[in-house]
Chains A and B, each alone.
Chain A
Amino acid sequence: MNPGMPAKLTLPGVKQVIAVASGKGGVGKSTVAANLALALHLSGKSVGLMDADIYGPSVPIMFGLGTVDPQKTPLPLEKFGIKLMSMGFLVDPNQAVIWRGPKVAQAVQSFLSQINWGTLDYLVIDLPPGTGDAQLTLSQSAPLTGAVIVTTPGEVSLIDARKGVKMFREVRVPILGIVENMSYFEDAAGNKTPIFGVGGGLKLALESNVPFLGELPIDPRVAACGDQGEPIVRRFPDSPVARAYRALAAAVAEAANTPPPAPLPEVQL
């Protein structure tokens, strides 16, 4: 077999595999993935979070974890009830992972195949930005239920988010919907001020004919919670952002609750 072509994987204990993606970096994809995973867990589900961003893993800092010795500590790690795997558990944060694409594909694949995820209702995969090796490997080899595309409201983000939509269409991975992050800032009086534009997520959902899963407000505490290792959904469960994440989790769960596409038939040679 072509060495660049990953083998098909099965995750028998995992009911739904949900990829969180975006074309563009910096839209809050990892924050969304972490809080979505926690919100799903808070709804009573067993959840794993796999950080497929090999070059720039964010899961360790967002969950207050560091590197571990894989010989002594079994992976995945567990925090706040979520099973976690990240390159950041294996490589010192001061070291750069300087790898070409095939190694990235190999790492992503081993996270799926060599990590004992056990029984999960949802495995959320935090993808790196772009439409490259990690995305392609997962599309080709992982039993993805579907993808959630994250964008911010502005056109600069939408340009790349469209490419993400296009890629998942090309590889026939169902798009569960679009979520718009950093939609507006809400002050104490409840006044909403859009900072990065208005309506981009809905626009993309409408033009792509996929569900719009919701808006997530801006709150400085989101970043602070991420930096301090406890995502806002858990730290401030009554905040408007946490409520928006719980609504997002419900929308994602509903969108994912459709029969997965049937596997392609084998060829009789």
Chain B
Amino acid sequence: MPNEPRPVSLRREGDGLRIEWSDGVVTFSTWRRLRSQCPCAACVEERAKPPDPFRVLSPAEVAAGPPAPVAMKPVGHYAYQITWNDGHSTGIYSLERLRQLGEETT
């Protein structure tokens, strides 16, 4: 654990999140990708089901438009919690997951 990369800075850049890591790597993930890969139990279960071709968007989803964070707070020493513009906030993104979801950039 002591040598695992930790975020040095996290900031909004365009339509996504840019993270600079302690090992010098910089990753970028779009908000859309982060929202679609929400690690909360309800979203994980939803993703495990076959896609519903007739799924109807909820009024909150329609009103929210493209996914964007309203808040993003550190959780302990291991994760961040994102509150989304559609009201969803139960996803706790571990550092490992944030690293996996990001694409390496310069």
Contact = CB atoms under 8 A, between A and B. Distances in A.
Note whether A and B form a binding pair: yes
Interface string A244-269: 00000000000000000101111111
Interface residues of B, number: 27
A269 B6 contact: no
A98 interface: no
A124 to B, nearest CB: 19
A106 interface: no
Given A265-B7, A269-B12, A269-B69, A8 B74 contact: yes
7 contacts: A170-B78, A171-B78, A172-B1, A172-B76, A173-B77, A265-B9, A265-B74
B74 A266 contact: yes
A2 B81 contact: yes
A4 B90 CA distance: 8
A2 B90 contact: yes
Given A1-B89, A2-B81, A2-B89, A267 B75 contact: no
B37 interface: no
A5 interface: yes
Interface in B2-20: 6-12, 17
A261 B1 CA distance: 11
A173 B69 CA distance: 27
B89 A172 contact: no
A31 interface: no
Interface of B: 1, 6-12, 17, 69, 71-81, 83, 89-90, 92, 94-95
Question: In terms of DSSP, what is the predominant structure of the interface of chain A?
Answer: loop
Given A8-B73, A171-B78, A172-B76, 11 more contacts: A2-B83, A5-B81, A139-B78, A171-B79, A172-B78, A264-B74, A267-B17, A267-B73, A268-B11, A269-B69, A269-B71
B77 A5 contact: no
A263 B79 CA distance: 11
A264 B6 contact: yes
Contacts of A171: 76-79
